[in-house]
């Protein structure tokens, strides 16, 4: 029997691992693409989340005996002058006295040769991984605690465990949450030199299968809106910030020279006669090569390149870009920006829609089909206010959906918790079909 394996193109941080999995087992593999945070590079840097006992949702950790933290990490330069011993990746520790007074430490051993996971319940304990670390190689790291054992996984394989019991300790008052270093001046702030990506924290112990799922396709586990039960924080840096993508919104502050990807401050499309004017503005560009403006008639799977624009590479100034599409589709055209940096890593903007024919009345609904949410645009605010949503058997599910955002002529409706099937979006005069996968 022949096994067919489909491997999709992925960012370089996962490539080595996924090739290994290719030879080990039969899998359908895919991965998220986007930016990451680069630390140090000879200049001290970190992301500061503030006092841990003031962060949303983290108080649930000290009420239980379960924890998981996952992330991708890649060393840049072990000999970078800013690097400290026990280089820290993601840590909650004391910012004033002893840095070993805290709750957890995702870091390295004293020689920065292997990963270390330390946890404080009724006392502080730690375990070391066994994989020797190399510069320039991405590693997936998962640290878990289930009330009986602490475990440390590297690239989906458990490398170390230690018996441990008790609830996680409550955060001491001086404990801060930080990434790329610890908040204490001891050991040169234990600074890390390299890249960190796709950081998550949970108030449950993830299973080996869940860790592998999160490693290969994170949104399968986190949900497209990062609202899965027990997920307390998720940071992927794709929007050029250290913002938490969960509803807890524990956003980080970049405390010095971290290289984050492009920060897109605006992206707008507008009809001008029979043409479409596309404008976007950036306030920061780092390691970018070019933008690609993509166009679609359905906003589903028919995207194609309309035009490519080279970026300014590295800039902290406000930069404005404009493209004129002189041949939009008859009716509705959809646009999105694709950012590609020198690593080959890509990130996408939100999708924008424009109707170049003012005589065309009715709703614009996209994406359709959808896995999670749909954007509904109307000619008038009155039409938006009177929209009703029904399932295939005629039940009004409008109240069962979540209105994520709204402006005068548009609303974004969340369908994640609705079952797959056909939904009817009705105005006073027309009915539209939406397909939920």
Instruction: Report the C-alpha dihedral over residues 210, 108, 249, 98, rounded to 10 degrees.
Output: 130
- The domain of 346 spans 263-355
| Domain of residue 217, CATH code | 2.60.120.200
Q: Coil, strand or helix: which one is 381?
A: helix
Output the CA–CA distances (angstroms, integers) from residue 226 to 144, 202, 247, 267, in the order listed.
19, 12, 8, 23
Q: How many CB atoms lie within 10 A of CB 427?
A: 18
Nearest residue to 112 via CA among 91, 87, 81? 87
**Does 47 share its domain with 67?**
yes
**Is 3 domain-assigned?**
no
Number of domains present in the structure of the chain: 3
Place of tokens 């998550």: 200
**Does 267 share its domain with 188?**
no
pTM, two decimal places: 0.56
pLDDT in tens, the chain (437 residues): 222 222 222 334 343 343 333 322 322 222 234 578 888 754 557 898 988 889 999 989 988 899 999 999 999 888 888 888 899 999 998 877 677 788 999 999 999 999 999 999 999 999 999 999 998 889 999 999 999 999 999 999 999 999 999 999 998 888 889 999 888 776 678 889 888 999 999 999 999 999 998 888 888 889 888 889 999 999 988 777 889 999 999 998 887 545 555 667 788 898 887 789 999 888 766 655 678 899 988 776 678 989 988 776 566 678 889 999 988 887 788 898 887 765 555 667 777 888 876 444 567 888 777 878 888 887 667 777 778 899 888 888 888 776 666 666 778 888 888 888 888 888 877 788 888 87
Spell 7-38 as b/e; 16+ CB within 10 A means b. eeebbebbeebbeebeeeeeeebbbbbbbbbb
In the prediction, which pLDDT does 22 show?
31
Instruction: Please spell the DSSP secondary structure of 242-264, one letter per residue.
Output: ----STT----EE-S--B---EE
Q: Which domain-ending residue is among 229, 254, 279?
A: 254
Instruction: Report the C-alpha dihedral over residues 141, 7, 135, 130, rounded to 10 degrees.
Output: 40
**Does 181 share its domain with 71?**
yes
Q: How many CB atoms lie within 10 A of CB 209?
A: 10
């Amino acid at each position: 029997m022949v096994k067919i394996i489909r491997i999709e193109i992925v960012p370089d941080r996962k490539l080595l691992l996924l090739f290994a999995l290719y030879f080990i087992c039969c899998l359908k593999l895919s991965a998220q693409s986007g930016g990451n945070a680069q630390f140090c590079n000879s200049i001290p840097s970190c992301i500061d989340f503030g006092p841990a006992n003031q962060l949303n949702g983290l108080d649930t950790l000290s009420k239980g005996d379960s924890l998981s933290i996952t992330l991708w990490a890649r060393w840049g330069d072990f000999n970078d002058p800013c690097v400290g011993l026990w280089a820290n990746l993601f840590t909650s520790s004391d910012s004033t006295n002893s840095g070993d007074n805290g709750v957890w430490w995702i870091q390295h051993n004293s020689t920065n040769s292997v990963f270390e996971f330390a946890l404080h319940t009724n006392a502080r304990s730690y375990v070391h991984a066994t994989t020797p670390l190399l510069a320039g190689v991405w590693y997936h790291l998962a640290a878990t605690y289930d009330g009986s054992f602490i475990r440390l996984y590297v690239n989906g394989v458990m490398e170390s465990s230690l018996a441990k019991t008790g609830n996680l300790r409550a955060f001491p008052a001086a404990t801060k949450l930080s990434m790329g270093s610890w908040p204490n001046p001891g050991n040169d702030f234990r600074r890390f030199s390299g890249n960190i990506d796709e950081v998550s924290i949970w108030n449950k112990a993830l299973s080996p299968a869940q860790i592998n799922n999160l490693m290969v396709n994170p949104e399968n586990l986190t949900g497209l809106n990062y609202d899965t039960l027990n997920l307390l924080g998720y940071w992927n840096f794709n929007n050029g910030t250290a913002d938490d993508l969960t509803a807890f919104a524990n956003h980080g502050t970049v405390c010095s020279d971290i290289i984050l990807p492009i920060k897109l401050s605006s992206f707008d499309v507008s009809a001008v006669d029979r043409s479409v004017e596309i404008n976007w503005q950036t306030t920061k560009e780092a390691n970018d090569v070019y933008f690609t403006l993509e166009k679609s008639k359905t906003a589903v799977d028919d995207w194609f390149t309309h035009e490519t624009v080279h970026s300014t590479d590295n800039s902290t100034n406000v930069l404005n870009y404009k493209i004129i599409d002189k041949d939009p589709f008859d009716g509705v055209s959809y646009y999105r920006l694709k950012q590609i940096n020198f690593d080959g890593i890509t990130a996408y903007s939100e999708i924008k829609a424009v109707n170049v024919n003012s005589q065309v009345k009715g709703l614009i609904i996209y994406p359709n089909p959808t896995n999670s949410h749909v954007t509904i645009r109307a000619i008038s605010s009155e039409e938006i206010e009177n929209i009703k949503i029904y399932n295939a058997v005629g039940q009004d599910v409008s109240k069962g959906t979540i209105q994520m955002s709204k402006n005068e002529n548009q609303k974004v409706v969340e369908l994640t918790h609705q079952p797959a099937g056909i939904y009817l979006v009705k105005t006073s005069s027309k009915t539209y079909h939406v397909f939920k996968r």
